[in-house]
Homo-oligomer: A and B are copies of this chain.
Amino acid sequence: MITYWIDLIGTFMFAISGALAAWDKKMYHDIFGVSFTAFVTAIGGGTLRDVILGIHPIVWVKDQSYIIAIALGVLVTVVFRTILLRYKRSLFLFDTIGIGFYTILGVQKSLAFGVNPWAAVIMGMMSAIFGGVIRDTLVNEIPLIFSRQIYATACLAGATVYILLGYTGIDLEVNMILSIILIISIRLFALRKRWSLPYLTKENKW
């Protein structure tokens, strides 16, 4: 139940992030462009995960709450965009919390479907970030995960810790919370300290 509401709130947050990104580009400035970008941002990651795992029906085609959550996200963006843009920093926080949850939910769902642990880590990361990759591609920007690759790596780290802690017999809820906090912390510290991944050769620091 709590998972269901987290999922809906995450969908709503991702829709806002997609709608805001579309808004910034004049090309996508009418109601269709904004809604379309919000929609694929919100459902992209989960749909890819479920199609690869062969989980049907995909949640948003069965349960209309997801589409209502996206519509609300678009409405909120259109009405409150000036305020939203002023609090961009808090938005990043919400986005980061959402991605933390999505990663661990994706790992859980994958493991429940008999996926091997390595693939579960990858599926967790993909379900969390793929919506953002589509969003950035649609509005013609280099996907954030390539320019700030530490963000995707934070998801991989959190997912790995979640699986490793799982072998210790730790309480499931405690494990979830610890792993999510790890993902959020890495991302926030990376932003603050301008961390990035080590480059593989010295001459290519750019």
Which residue numbers of A lie inside 8 Å of B, CB to CB?
23, 26-34, 36, 39, 47, 51-54, 56-58, 60-64, 67-68, 78, 110, 113-119, 122-123, 142, 146, 149, 152-153, 196-201, 204, 206
Instruction: Find chain B residues with CB under 8 A from A153 CB.
Output: 32
Instruction: Find chain B residues with CB under 8 A from A110 CB.
Output: 61
Known contacts: A29-B201, A33-B149, A152-B32. The answer to whether A57 contacts B57 by CB under 8 A is no
Known contacts: A63-B116, A119-B67, A197-B30. The answer to whether A56 contacts B54 by CB under 8 A is yes
Known contacts: A61-B53, A64-B118, A116-B67. The answer to whether A198 contacts B29 by CB under 8 A is no
The one of B29, B57, B149, B199 in contact with A53, judged by C-beta atoms closer than 8 angstroms, is B57
The one of B36, B52, B57, B64 in contact with A51, judged by C-beta atoms closer than 8 angstroms, is B52
Instruction: Find chain B residues with CB under 8 A from A27 CB.
Output: 142, 146
A2 to B116, CA, bound (A): 23
The one of B57, B58, B62, B200 in contact with A31, judged by C-beta atoms closer than 8 angstroms, is B200
